[in-house]
Amino acid sequence: MEKNMVVSFICLGIYTLLFLLIVNHVTFGSYGKLVIISMCISPLIGILFGLKSRNRPSKWLVIILNSLALFTIIYLLVLGFGMGEA
């Protein structure tokens, strides 16, 4: 497997691990903002490394999965901070 694909899968795994920890109500103390920022940055890094890899079907799978992860965290942030109940 290519180095860029491995980095992209690792970024997706980091996002998944942090998302599952947040869903299971694990407290991060003063590192909460750092976790949210890393959840936004890791799919972006995964997309960039996925775009740099060779043209294979797995390239597009990684790009689509990282894009879904990025859109999911953006939607949850907008829902949590911007569109809360009045």
Residue-level pLDDT at 80 = 83
CB contact at 8 A, 4 and 50: yes
Read off the DSSP letter of residue 30.
G
Task: Domain ranges for the chain, please list them.
Answer: 3-82
pLDDT above 70 for 84: no
pLDDT above 60 for 23: yes
The share of the chain scoring above pLDDT 90, in percent, equals: 66
Question: Among 62, 58, 69, 61, which Cα is nearest to 18's?
Answer: 69
Range with lowest mean pLDDT among 8-12, 20-24, 64-68, 78-82: 78-82
Given pLDDT bands bounded at 50, 70 and 90, which one contains residue 62? very high
